[in-house]
Amino acid sequence: MHISRCSHAATPDALPGILWCVAPRVLHGGLPKAADYCTTGMVGRAPCPLARAGNEWRKPRDNIALPTPQPPPTTIMLDTKNLLHGIDLVLDLALMEQVFDRLPNVLFYVKDKEARYLMVNATLVERSALVSKEDVIGKTADELFEVTGSSTLMQDLSVIRSGEPITDVLRLFFSADGHRQWCLSSKFPVRDAEGQIAGLLGISRILPRPDEKHASYKRLLQFLKRLEEPAQPNLRISEIAREVQLSLDTLERLCREVFGLTPKQIMMRMRLDRACRLLETTDASITDIAAECGYADHSAFSRQFKAATLCTPQQYRGAHRTS
């Protein structure tokens, strides 16, 4: 199975901290064709391995000379767009499956027009508690993971029918052993040779517990403690940053280093975690829980809760209330 580059180009961008590359076929004794390069600038921030000097192209480190017409001395930059087009790059999904099998905290999947799994990586199989990939293929997400209220299937079908991708959506899901887990999900429509939507390709990055020994974690302690205090409606990240004496840029960088999330996503996750605990263990009204978790009104709380869990607070309580 193959997929054109336009359908999945954004997928690696949803994996911060992972270095992803596609290399062109080696030509001319280990060096790309001169035609694969341009002199008009730099595309993709990739410096060219060749420089032109006098009558020759030279690979500076190895001092390998290739004859070329004589131009004025200049530095050559890689034209990534034209190079990929010139070699007619098509990625094999089976190869992508092998790559994503090496990422233990990432669920990778390809689904057909009915949102049934066509391809998955090993992590998804493990989280579903099934034995093999063959057990997963042909099923929908609702058949693998616990469903409460609106389903993951409906979200998948929305992406397929609208053709609109979703990126870095903070989601709460329950693993096969019943544990609550957070992830960042991105889904992209896949088109066939005629340009018709044939399914979707997606990744869900499971968010691990932060490393409390990380040097940046200590710098975030005041910020995290501030978020844990009794919630205040309309509290702004900029206000907290000033209180803890961090610039917004520094706070953003530290949060991404430690949690892989933005400050706003961390605040939302902490609020919704608190809401889940209250729904599971108390009889407090939805309005009171919304206020306790920092929402000015229960309607805004219910919308954000449903966006993250695909169910209403009432549905969640009915499914997960502890005795």
The pLDDT assigned to 52 comes to 42
Low-confidence ranges of the chain (pLDDT < 50): 1-2, 4-8, 26-62, 74-76, 83-90
* This prediction's pTM: 0.61
Q: What single-letter DSSP state applies at residue 210?
A: P
Residue type, 205: R
Cα→Cα distances 169→166, 172, 187, Å: 7, 10, 9
Q: Hey, what domains does the chain have and what are their CATH numbers? A: 23-88 (no CATH), 91-206 (3.30.450.20), 215-320 (1.10.10.60)
Among 165, 188, 184, residue whose Cα is nearest residue 4: 188
| Degrees, nearest 5: CA angle 80-81-82 | 95
Helix ranges (H only) for 185-244 are 215-228, 237-243
The pLDDT assigned to 232 comes to 74
β-pairing verdict for 197-206 and 106-111: antiparallel
What's the pLDDT tens digit per position in 11-37?
A: 556 666 666 565 555 444 444 444 444
The pLDDT assigned to 90 comes to 46
The pLDDT assigned to 15 comes to 64
Answer for the pair 59, 31: CB distance below 8 angstroms, yes or no. yes
Please count the other Cβ atoms lying within 10 Å of the Cβ belonging to residue 171.
18
The single residue listed with the structure tokens 């990778």 is 108
